[in-house]
């Protein structure tokens, strides 16, 4: 399936929950993820990213908090307690019913040098079920393995190796992690023997032969003239989550569609669709996608938390100033005759400011003769000087 680019969105009616899926972030994600790799398959989980950002928001103050609030569309969400409750309500979806599983999990990994503040702990733990686990980030490889195993367990091994051992070090203060897992069978399954090799047009000039699934049944169908696209919504069994597939009318229409989707709330599109009989051809697919979030968030104006002005003063019990040094997302999807399995994980790495941003930068330019020593705190093993090269 290399080179095939599909736009697939798993939307949820969220009948019982508030709509926390900020449309702002979702559309920026589509733009950024797609813009970064125009010919790649893309999957990201807005909810996973938002939940992780919300966890950071609960410990943020000032401009840092304000920017996060805007990106998360929290303007009218009230105080932190209400924001935590709002995200906490997502856990109502966390369940296994029949063949459908929806799992959402948060966790805080905290270096043994630090303690989180009582207030932050209350919000994170009571509302967002984010347990704080103490680790030793100096044992980078072991700690990365601990975090990765937790993510693997939460995602049924679909998100593996989220954090590379070398992205942690003794300087790390906290890592905030979200994991999301979804698996469900189609309400109307595709029959295995109807799947045949068919052309998939990568562009007007280029096509690939793929495993195309087929079925005819009643589905929500929409013809969106303003988007120059048609859409179907495929329901899953035992859940109100469904998959919306938006198909540009022209082979080369994806980029134009994605631009238009910037101003569309995907959760609202189904309301404009009608139940019709539809003959669906949908390729089977399976892939994963990695996304560095810093540039995406910068597009949304979330920059302070990455800077020396970051204010997470309500997160830790200590007075230590910290900022976010890394924000990473990874997602997986498999779609076949039986249904869908999808998983995602997001993490924010938080480090002390003192270590990230020196007050002053000293210059050391060894462009003339110098002395060197190879030593430890007891012995000098080698010493010498360099006068010419
Ligand atoms: C299709 O094949 C898969 C695995 O080969 C099997 O688990 C599933 O039950 C089959 N579906 C139907 C409808 O026969
Ligand atoms: C479809 O994918 C699921 C995993 O989501 C897998 O268990 C199942 O065997 C697959 N079925 C077919 C027909 O490939």
Q: What is the residue extent of each domain of the chain?
A: 5-185+286-352, 192-283+356-386
Between 275 and 23, name the one with better pLDDT. Answer: 275
CB 298 within 8 A of CB 291: no
| Ligand with an atom nearest the CA of residue 181 | 2
Rg of the chain taking only CA atoms, in angstroms: 24
Residue 99 beta carbon below 6 angstroms from any ligand 1 atom: no
Is the pLDDT at 387 greater than 80? The verdict is: no
Task: Tell me the C-alpha to C-alpha distance, in Å, between residue 174 and each of 104, 272, 316.
Answer: 20, 44, 10
Q: Give pLDDT tens digits for 57-113.
A: 999 999 999 999 998 888 777 899 999 999 998 888 888 888 899 999 999 999 999
CATH label, 192-283+356-386, candidates 2.30.39.10, 3.40.50.10420, 2.102.10.10, 2.60.34.10: 2.30.39.10
Atom 10 (ligand 1): residue with closest C-alpha?
Answer: 192
Q: How many angstroms separate the CA atoms of 174 and 66, rounded?
A: 21
Q: How far is ligand 2, taken at its centre, from the CA of residue 336, in Å?
A: 6
Give the per-residue pLDDT at 1: 39
Cα 43 to its chain centre, rounded Å, is 9
Averaged pLDDT for residues 288-315 = 93
Averaged pLDDT for residues 330-347 = 94
Q: How far is ligand 2, taken at its centre, from the CA of residue 239, in Å?
A: 18
**For residue 330, what are the β-bridge partners?**
290, 345
Give the per-residue pLDDT at 386: 54
Q: How far is ligand 1, taken at its centre, from the CA of residue 160, in Å?
A: 26
Q: How far is ligand 1, taken at its centre, from the CA of residue 193, in Å?
A: 9
Is the pLDDT at 384 greater than 70? The verdict is: no
Is the pLDDT at 360 greater than 60? The verdict is: no
Task: Tell me the C-alpha to C-alpha distance, in Å, between residue 54 and each of 50, 120, 184.
Answer: 6, 12, 27
Give the per-residue pLDDT at 383: 43
Averaged pLDDT for residues 232-259 = 88
Q: Helices H, strands E: what count in the chain?
A: 9, 15
Give the per-residue pLDDT at 75: 76
pLDDT band at 240 (very low <50, low <70, confident <90, very high): confident
Cα 152 to its chain centre, rounded Å, is 15
Mutate to test the pocket of ligand 1, among 183, 188, 189, 192 (most ligand atoms within 8 A of CB): 192
Give the per-residue pLDDT at 184: 93
Task: Tell me the C-alpha to C-alpha distance, in Å, between residue 360 and each of 10, 333, 351.
Answer: 47, 46, 18
Give the per-residue pLDDT at 38: 65
Give the per-residue pLDDT at 362: 54
Give the per-residue pLDDT at 206: 87
pLDDT band at 37 (very low <50, low <70, confident <90, very high): low
- What is the rounded average pLDDT for all residues in the chain? 84
Residue 146 beta carbon below 6 angstroms from any ligand 2 atom: no
Report the candidate in 348, 367, 363, 369 with the shortest Cα–Cα distance to residue 167: 348
Q: Indicate the range of 3-12, 172-181, 250-259 predicted with least confidence.
A: 3-12
Give the per-residue pLDDT at 366: 60
Is the pLDDT at 376 greater than 50? The verdict is: no
Q: How far is ligand 1, taken at its centre, from the CA of residue 338, in Å?
A: 7
pTM attached to this predicted model: 0.86
Report the candidate in 7, 2, 4 with the shortest Cα–Cα distance to residue 30: 7
Give the per-residue pLDDT at 162: 96
Residue 31 beta carbon below 6 angstroms from any ligand 1 atom: no
Averaged pLDDT for residues 323-349 = 95
Residue 337 beta carbon below 6 angstroms from any ligand 2 atom: yes
pLDDT band at 16 (very low <50, low <70, confident <90, very high): very low
Residue 191 beta carbon below 6 angstroms from any ligand 1 atom: yes
**For residue 331, what are the β-bridge partners?**
289, 344
Architecture of the domain made up of 5-185+286-352: 2-Layer Sandwich (3.30)
Atom 2 (ligand 1): residue with closest C-alpha?
Answer: 192
CA angle 303/330/109 to nearest 5° reads 70
Give the per-residue pLDDT at 78: 80
Q: Give pLDDT tens digits for 169-180.
A: 999 999 999 999
């Amino acid at each position: 399936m290399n080179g095939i680019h599909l736009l697939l969105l798993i939307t949820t009616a969220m009948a019982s929950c508030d709509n926390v899926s900020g449309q702002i972030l979702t559309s920026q994600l589509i733009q950024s993820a797609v813009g970064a790799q125009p010919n790649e398959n893309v999957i990201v989980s807005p909810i996973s990213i938002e939940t992780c950002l919300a966890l950071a928001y609960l410990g943020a103050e000032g401009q840092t908090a304000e920017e996060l609030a805007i990106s998360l569309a929290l303007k009218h969400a009230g105080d932190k307690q209400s924001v935590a409750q709002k995200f906490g309500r997502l856990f109502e979806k966390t369940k296994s019913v029949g063949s459908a599983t929806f799992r959402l999990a948060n966790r805080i990994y905290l270096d043994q040098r630090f303690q989180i503040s009582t207030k932050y702990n209350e919000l994170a733990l009571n509302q967002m079920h984010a347990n704080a686990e103490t680790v030793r980030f100096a044992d980078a490889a072991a700690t990365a393995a601990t975090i990765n195993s937790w993510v693997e367990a939460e995602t049924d091994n679909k998100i593996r190796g989220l954090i590379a051992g070398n992205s942690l070090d003794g300087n790390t203060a906290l890592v905030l992690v979200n994991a999301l897992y979804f698996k469900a069978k189609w309400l109307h399954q595709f029959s295995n023997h109807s799947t045949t090799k068919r052309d998939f047009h990568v562009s007007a000039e280029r096509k690939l032969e793929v495993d195309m699934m087929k079925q005819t049944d009643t589905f929500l169908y929409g013809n969106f003239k303003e988007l120059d696209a048609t859409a179907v919504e495929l329901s899953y069994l035992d859940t109100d989550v469904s998959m919306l597939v938006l198909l540009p009318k022209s082979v080369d229409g994806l980029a134009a569609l994605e631009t238009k989707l910037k101003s569309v709330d995907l959760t609202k599109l189904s309301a404009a669709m009608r139940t019709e009989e539809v003959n669906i051809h949908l390729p089977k697919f399976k892939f994963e996608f990695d996304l560095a979030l810093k540039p995406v968030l910068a597009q949304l104006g979330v920059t302070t938390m990455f800077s020396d002005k970051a204010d997470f003063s309500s997160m830790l019990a200590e007075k230590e100033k910290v900022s976010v040094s890394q924000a990473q997302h990874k997602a997986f999807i498999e779609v076949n005759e039986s249904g869908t399995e999808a998983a995602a994980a997001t993490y924010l790495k938080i480090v002390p400011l003192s270590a990230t941003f020196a007050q002053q930068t000293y210059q050391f330019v060894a462009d003339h003769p110098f002395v060197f020593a190879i030593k430890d705190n007891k012995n000098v093993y080698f010493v010498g000087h360099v006068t010419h090269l």
